[in-house]
Chain A
Amino acid sequence: MSLEQVRPVQGEPLHRGRLGRLRRFEPASLIWVLAVAALLFLVATPMVRLVISSLQTTDTGTLTIDNYISAYGQLRNLEALGNSLLYALEVTLMSALMAVPIAWGVSRTDMPAKSLIRALILGAFITPPYLGAIGWILLAGPNAGWLNRAWMTITGSHSGFIDVYSFTVLSLVTALYAFPYIFVFTSDALDRVSSEMEEAANILGAGNFYTVFRITLPLVTPAILGGAIVVFLDTVALFGTPAIIALPARIRIMTLQLWQYFEFPVRAEVAAAYAIPLIIITLALFWVQRAILGRRSYVALTGKGGSRTLTPLGPWRWVILGYSLFVVSLAVILPYAALGKAAFSKAWGLGFTLANVTLDNFYSLLAEEGARRTIVHSFTYSAAAGCVAVALALLAAYVVNRKLMPGANLLTMLCMAPLVIPGIVLGIGFYAAFASPPVALYGTAAILILGYSTRFLPIAYVNCAASLRSLNPEMEEAVRILGGTRLRAIARVIVPMLKKSLLGTWLLVFIPATRELSTAIFLVGAQTRVISVMMLDLSENGSFEILAALGFFLLGATILIVLLGYKIIGRDFMLRRS
């Protein structure tokens, strides 16, 4: 074969005016643009709308600061704000006290029964806080609560020793379902601390106890702090537990005041004004975190030597196990025992007689048309939200990862923004932006699905970005050099390769969406009721038996899904920090 025979393929010249530019246009680009538009619509609109409507009069829409005056001009609103901050602070401290010792015990010592403790903490993690709160009403109701009745029987006293309708117990009950966050963050960080860090202190003369407090715990401070901030923000914006405990206890909490602006006459503009501090608090906390950490770095500096030897505790390992069991009993074992009793009782206050046992509560859930529809709503909306969130997050993460558009980092910020928007604020923002015309989604399934998708978008984004980073871009470049388009590469290579982690991501959106309350409470309509809202209604009516049955149903479904997730994706996908 002579050289002349090998000619380059005669292609068209690359540049030929407008036509040439069109040739270079990737159809996929349109999808990026659409994805960005969708993100702006979902994340930016409600927030902008929230701020604008806080500055407008209800009817005419003229500029005003009246809303702020009526929100903060009242002493009770200021008191509620103060109470909320105090409440969040107490919950954060209690959570840290519960989580950190257990995390240390599980991650770095030879404490026995670690997997049992982990499983029970996962149980607390997947328990909706309001369900736990109801369990605690059954346990620590002033007179009828189990614990109090047991106390009165044993001691012969005339009153109980614990009152669920008090500020401290409100904080305790909230902390019992918030501490898993700090636990996950802390144990994950502790798993990464190389034993050489501790051994270096040992050999210089530090005993084990001193080492834990001077080396190990300081090394994971950022993780503890990170978890604590999540707990604080979650609590400040928490609606369910205060609605169940603080409302009857007449403790003024900010989220409850916010909710009251949606009672007739609806004053969404005042609510918007009153919600603004939540955003400011959030931003301030992240700033504080940054200031505290400063120049210190906490990541392991060198790769090698990352082995981990467990600290032998001797007899002390039983102490830490005892403490762990105590905490998880309070969070899981006792409340579920109480709920279980109620779910199978005709009346939960009636005690343990055979005559009191019944399956009617479960029957009535399945028999009643409204209850059945509510359950179906929760699961279908959550499933749809999972799909929307994963699809949007994957596209956004892809655009950012491959730097397909200028300002891709703004996209990251957009995706992560809902993390710093309290659920209740998001609900109000969605209401303000989408409830009324021109969008007019109020009372539709779509507004709930979009609300859930937005609320849990950061979880989806973080996971998608992480799995994309783990993927070698050459996989995809191989498709394109062989003539495949970018979309084909995504559909035929990326999605199949990330199948497992995308499913895991979907579950991480789906599971919290099934119990979401604080966004849903503002967005449900008469025809779109979901489980969490139904539980709140049942609690207001005092129908604890049916409520407990519903709670068990939700728990059973969640456990099934989590087990399925374990089977498909691998252990620990829930208790991983993401």
Chain B
Amino acid sequence: MSERETGKHSRLSLSGLSCVYGKVAAVDKLSMDISPGEFISLLGPSGCGKTTTLRMIAGFVRPTGGTIAMDGETISSTDGSLPPEKRQMSMIFQSYAIWPNMTVAENVAFGLKLRRIDRASIRTKVQAMLDTVRLGALADRYPAELSGGQQQRVALARAMVIEPRVLLLDEPLSNLDANLREEMRFEIRRLHDAFHFTTVYVTHDQGEAMVTSDRIAVMNLGRLEQIDAPHALYTRPKTRFVAGFIGRTNFLEGRIAGDRIAFDHFDLPRGVFQAEELGKSGAVVFSVRPHCISLHREAGASDQHIAVQARLVQRAYLGEYWDYVVSPLGSDVRLKVAATPSQVFDVGDTLWLKFDPQQMAPIEA
């Protein structure tokens, strides 16, 4: 298929993009570069500005500051903004917005007709696209006769068939039930692997973002917190917000004192951490994932220096793992620890915690 050519996919550059409603900054000086063919997710809690950002990219909202450029050409700025219909993008809406008065095929053909393509090619393209999203047999149905997942596929087909320069998705899975949502994440990624459209995907579901994206941009209060590949975001969060938003974590607050880092009633040698990540002195905060701490009855001789004695204060068995809460002796710190089902301890047991310095991410205090 011709869609496989990646040449026409566009580079998108947001620089200093802001959108202020009254006194509230929905989006605050956002900058990012999206490479041709890249799949980026905008991830964040509701009200973080991700949908506003998407609507600015689409041209439905004009920025109050900064610019958006597509392949070097400015398409949105405070002076003016190219209307949506001139951007050659396409978008999948939260409600799908498939037109109930048109059949599946008519819905998909809509954008092609506007591009004045001859009828025969429209038919071929529509059929090929419907086959790709596995709706080939339902071309003549009306949307009301389809299930939620099928409607979603119509929306995907309609958006992709015009070979958009940028594909935008606004929480497209939020109206589906849990099983379907899981299935459609992979479907969206499969389609991206097939066509390589430059894609911006808005979601508040980290699972969706992890499965679909090349890179995830985590947003909070209108600002970009961090943009990184999914695994980097999880293992090396840079801010407290990102660490807390993506997965579960423990925050360890300490202070660099000479060649040791002092925490509440326990300390760790500074040398085990990569020097460049830490400052010379002052306060440090680490994000430590629950499964990056291990629990032992005995402190092993070889790694004594990273072991801390602690008491088990709470436990819950969740089938796939044990969920323990431990507290270093004498400390008020409470740490969540995930352990395999075979590692059984009781509340009140005194244990050794072992930290893995490689998996402790220093974050901005």
Contacts and interface: CB of A to CB of B under 8 A. Distances in A.
Interface residues of A, number: 31
B97 A204 contact: no
A202 B101 contact: no
Contacts of A196: 93-95, 97
A219 B99 contact: yes
Interface string B79-111: 000011111111101111111110000000011
Contacts of B88: 205
B192 interface: no
Nearest to B107: A200
A197 B95 CA distance: 9
Contact of A218 (B58, B101, B145): B101
B174 interface: yes
A296 B85 contact: no
Contacts of A298: 100-101
Given A203-B84, A204-B114, A221-B101, A304 B145 contact: no
Contacts of A305: 93-95, 97
Contacts of A206: 85, 110, 114
A300 interface: yes
A301 B144 contact: yes
Contacts of A302: 95-96, 148, 151, 175
A196 B144 CA distance: 17
Given A206-B85, A301-B151, A304-B174, A200 B97 contact: yes
Interface in B145-200: 145, 148, 151, 158-159, 162, 168, 174-175
B263 interface: no
A5 interface: no
Contacts of B158: 200, 204
A204 B111 contact: yes
Interface string B7-42: 000000000000000000000000000000000000
Given A204-B114, A204-B162, A303-B175, A194 B85 contact: no
A416 B139 CA distance: 38
B96 A205 contact: no
Nearest to A299: B100
Interface in A296-336: 296-306, 309
B175 A203 contact: no
Contact of B84 (A202, A300, A306): A202
A202 B142 contact: no
A203 B100 contact: no
Contacts of B85: 202-207
Contacts of B97: 194, 196-197, 199-200, 305
Contacts of B144: 295-297, 299, 301
B65 interface: no
A200 B100 contact: no
A95 B178 CA distance: 48
B317 interface: no
Nearest to B61: A309
B115 A205 contact: yes
Contacts of A210: 114
Contact of A297 (B59, B95, B100, B111): B100
B335 to A, nearest CB: 39
Interface in A177-228: 194, 196-197, 199-207, 210, 214-215, 218-219, 221
Contacts of B96: 301-302
Given A210-B114, A295-B144, A297-B100, 8 more contacts: A202-B84, A203-B85, A219-B101, A296-B142, A301-B95, A303-B175, A305-B97, A306-B95
Interface of A: 194, 196-197, 199-207, 210, 214-215, 218-219, 221, 295-306, 309
**Nearest 7 pairs of A and B residues by beta carbon:** A297-B144, A305-B95, A204-B111, A196-B97, A305-B94, A200-B97, A196-B93
16 contacts: A199-B58, A199-B97, A200-B93, A200-B97, A203-B84, A203-B85, A203-B89, A203-B90, A203-B168, A204-B114, A218-B99, A219-B100, A219-B101, A295-B144, A301-B143, A305-B97
Interface of B: 58-60, 83-91, 93-101, 110-111, 114-115, 142-145, 148, 151, 158-159, 162, 168, 174-175
